[in-house]
């Protein structure tokens, strides 16, 4: 039988109507028969009883069929797997499933239904996060997570009792670690839409095959892991051991739970923080990188933009950049301009490309760096202005105060830490023997003016105090240059410096300016690029002069290369010490 589209009767927008899918019970006499179902329309105002499905669409090829109102309808394999595992034996099951309950071919209906997605998931009696069919290792992973979620005091380390053991394996077992990592690497954890679907649920459950895990366990799992990893069970050898099969460690895998915890528990979320937290997640439609998170835009970010599938991706991304400036009064959104841009999108350099390719392992550290920017005030509280001139110019104010003279190699190309330090010191023209506080500009640049500390209240960042923190650099350098290279655990005081060093230098080059400033700038930075302080931004930016555009008059234009750390100008010195006046800067 030919696969057709369902028969979609119009929905009454004024009544907040949605379609519900009623899945008929299994026919025990015909276990291989096609799934039968029917549609009904229901108003959210009437509090209908239904469960909402959250799943990864996967391959969009509609290779499976079900019956909806006696019509054979093509659906994806992932959806068919979900309906097959959710179908009850003796009674009908009422579900809301976005792929079929929304007429995906009708942009007007799609736009309206997406706009009320928050209410759809908040109103559901339960949200079922379906992760896929049972597979080898899924049972062990779910049992591990179930134990941790049920008993937050149980230890990870097999040296302590009681400790976790699953199927005869403890956390030191590569088999158990791989099972946990593979479970947290399923597509559901990497899809954009599943974030708000899970975060908005008043009651949720994760299901893999026919095994379920209460959604409330996820918060307890992450809190337990943080508690034990930093305290009693701090055996970094197994917590940081990368899986040979999946290329990441448990810490990175559990970060996906941490991100969901952030979305579920934060009272007022910055929409830019939400987008950044889940930036490496995927969506078939690039506009959904934004639309799929709109239900999490609260407080001053509420209704920041509207879902509208008649608009191009470029229009949507530009609308957010302009709205972000209006809502926050600053140009902080510019710090999200990084990653390898998607060439099909014709975006100006000053508009973040939310589809940009970013390594997930690096992304967590990049987010940590972004979180430190509120500790700086390079523009000395200057109010931001942004005037948009179609099609691509943004007029802002600021100061172009210096030019890049030398750039170092990428850190990954430079060998050992001692070799890296020698190269950078040579660029800065600092003799190897100079180890006193007089070389403060160098060692403070190495850690980006920051230190990472752990306390009973949790880990946090702080600005360094040169006269007090100089010994930390010396201890860190002694550790890094040691031939025996003792473990970092035996140099605990150097940890805060080491973390700051890696965060500061990540995806950046060491640079020296014509005026002698030291710093770290994006890998794409080249000699001749300029350093600018833009009004309403906490950190400096690297800009690149480009040929004047036909509609820009005789004014020079700049492309945004990215934000940077430049020692000696992070606290408004360009204005307070050098008294440089603001000028108009054209970004393209």
- Average pLDDT per run of 10 along the chain, which is 588 residues long? 77 94 90 91 98 93 92 95 95 97 94 93 98 96 93 88 92 90 94 95 96 91 79 68 82 83 78 94 94 91 92 97 95 96 91 92 90 96 92 96 95 84 90 54 95 76 90 87 59 82 96 97 98 97 84 78 98 89 95
Distance CA 469, CA 430 (A): 20
**pLDDT value, residue 253:** 84
CB atoms near residue 57 (< 10 Å): 16
Instruction: Record the tokens describing residue 192, joined without a space.
Output: 């954009």
Distance CA 542, CA 371 (A): 19
**pLDDT value, residue 458:** 63
**pLDDT value, residue 554:** 57
Query: Three-state SS string across 97-162, please?
Result: CHHHHCCCCCHHHHHHHHHCHHHHHHHCCEEEEEEECCCCCHHHHHHHHHHHHHCCCCECCCCCCC
Question: With contact defined as beta carbons under 8 Å apart, do 568 and 517 qualify?
Answer: yes
**pLDDT value, residue 1:** 44
**pLDDT value, residue 438:** 45
Phi, then psi, of 409 in degrees rounded to 5: -65, 165
User: Which are the contacts of 334, defined by CB distance < 8 A and separation ≥ 6?
Assistant: 350, 352, 534, 537, 541, 560, 563
> What own/partner pairs with CB < 8 Å and gap ≥ 24 does 242-245 have?
243/174, 243/177, 243/178, 243/181, 244/174, 245/178, 245/181, 245/182
Instruction: Record the tokens describing residue 69, joined without a space.
Output: 């109102």
CB atoms near residue 10 (< 10 Å): 10
Question: With contact defined as beta carbons under 8 Å apart, do 300 and 271 qualify?
Answer: no
Phi, then psi, of 12 in degrees rounded to 5: -85, 105
Summarize the chain as % helix, strand, coil (round to 5). Answer: 35, 20, 40
**pLDDT value, residue 587:** 97
Pairing of strands 508-513, 518-522: antiparallel
Packing angle of the helix pair 492-505, 466-481 (nearest 10 deg): 90
- What are the E-state strand segments in 160-250? 204-208, 211-214
The CA angle 120-125-129, to the nearest 5 degrees, is 75
Phi-psi region for residue 528, left (φ > 0), alpha (ψ -120 to 50) or beta? left
Distance CA 6, CA 20 (A): 13
Pairing of strands 204-208, 211-214: antiparallel
CB atoms near residue 73 (< 10 Å): 20
CB atoms near residue 236 (< 10 Å): 13
**pLDDT value, residue 436:** 47
Pairing of strands 64-68, 36-43: parallel
């Amino acid at each position: 039988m030919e696969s057709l589209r369902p028969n979609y009767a119009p929905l009454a927008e004024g009544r907040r109507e949605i379609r519900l899918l009623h899945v008929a019970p299994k026919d025990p006499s015909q276990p291989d028969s096609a799934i039968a179902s029917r549609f009904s329309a229901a108003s959210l105002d009437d509090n209908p009883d239904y469960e909402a499905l959250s799943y990864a669409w996967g391959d969009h090829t509609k290779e499976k069929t079900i019956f909806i109102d006696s019509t054979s309808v093509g659906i994806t394999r992932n959806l068919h797997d979900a309906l097959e595992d959710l179908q009850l034996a003796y009674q009908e099951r009422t579900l809301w499933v976005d792929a079929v309950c929304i007429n995906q071919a009708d942009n007007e209906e799609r736009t309206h239904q997406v706009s009320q997605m928050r209410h759809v998931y908040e109103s559901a009696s339960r949200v079922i996060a379906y992760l896929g069919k049972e597979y080898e290792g899924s049972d062990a992973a779910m049992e591990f997570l179930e134990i941790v979620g049920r008993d937050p005091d149980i230890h990870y380390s097999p040296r302590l009792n009681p400790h976790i053991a699953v199927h005869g394996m403890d956390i030191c077992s590569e088999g158990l670690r791989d099972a946990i990592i593979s479970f947290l690497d399923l597509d559901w954890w990497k899809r954009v839409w599943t974030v708000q679907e899970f975060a908005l649920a008043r009651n949720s459950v994760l299901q893999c095959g026919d095994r379920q895990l209460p959604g409330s366990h996820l918060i307890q799992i992450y809190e337990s892991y943080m508690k034990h990893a930093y305290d009693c069970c701090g055996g970094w050898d197994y917590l940081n051991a990368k899986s040979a099969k999946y290329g990441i460690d448990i810490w990175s895998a559990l970060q996906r739970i941490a991100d969901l915890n952030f979305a579920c528990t934060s009272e007022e979320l910055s929409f830019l923080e939400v987008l950044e937290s889940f930036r490496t997640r995927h969506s078939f439609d690039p506009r959904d990188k934004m639309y799929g998170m709109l239900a999490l835009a609260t407080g001053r970010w509420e209704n920041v933009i509207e879902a509208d599938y008649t608009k191009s991706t470029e229009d949507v991304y530009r609308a957010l950049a302009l709205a972000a400036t209006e809502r926050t009064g600053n140009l902080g959104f510019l710090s999200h301009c990084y990653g390898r841009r998607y060439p099909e999108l014709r975006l100006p350099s000053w508009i973040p490309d939310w589809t940009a390719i970013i390594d997930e392992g690096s992304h967590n550290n990049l987010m940590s760096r972004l979180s430190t920017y509120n500790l700086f005030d390079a523009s000395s509280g200057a109010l931001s202005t942004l005037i948009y001139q179609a099609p691509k110019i943004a007029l802002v104010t600021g100061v172009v105060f210096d030019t890049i003279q030398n750039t170092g190699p990428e850190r990954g190309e430079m060998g050992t830490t001692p070799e890296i330090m020698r190269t950078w010191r040579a660029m800065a023209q600092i003799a190897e023997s100079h180890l006193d506080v007089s070389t403060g500009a160098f060692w403070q640049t190495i850690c980006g003016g920051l230190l990472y500390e752990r306390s009973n209240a949790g880990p946090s960042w702080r600005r360094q105090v040169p006269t007090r923190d100089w010994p930390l650099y010396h201890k860190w350098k002694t550790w890094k240059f040691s031939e025996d290279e003792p473990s970092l655990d035996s140099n605990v005081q150097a940890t805060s410096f080491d973390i700051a060093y890696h965060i500061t230098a990540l995806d950046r080059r060491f640079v020296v300016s014509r005026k002698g400033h030291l710093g770290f700038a994006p890998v794409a930075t080249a000699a001749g690029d300029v350093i600018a302080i833009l009004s309403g931004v906490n950190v400096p930016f690297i800009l690149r002069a480009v040929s004047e555009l036909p509609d820009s008059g005789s004014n020079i234009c700049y492309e945004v290369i990215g934000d940077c750390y430049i020692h000696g100008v992070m606290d408004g010195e360009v204005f307070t010490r050098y008294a440089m006046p603001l000028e108009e800067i054209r970004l393209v």
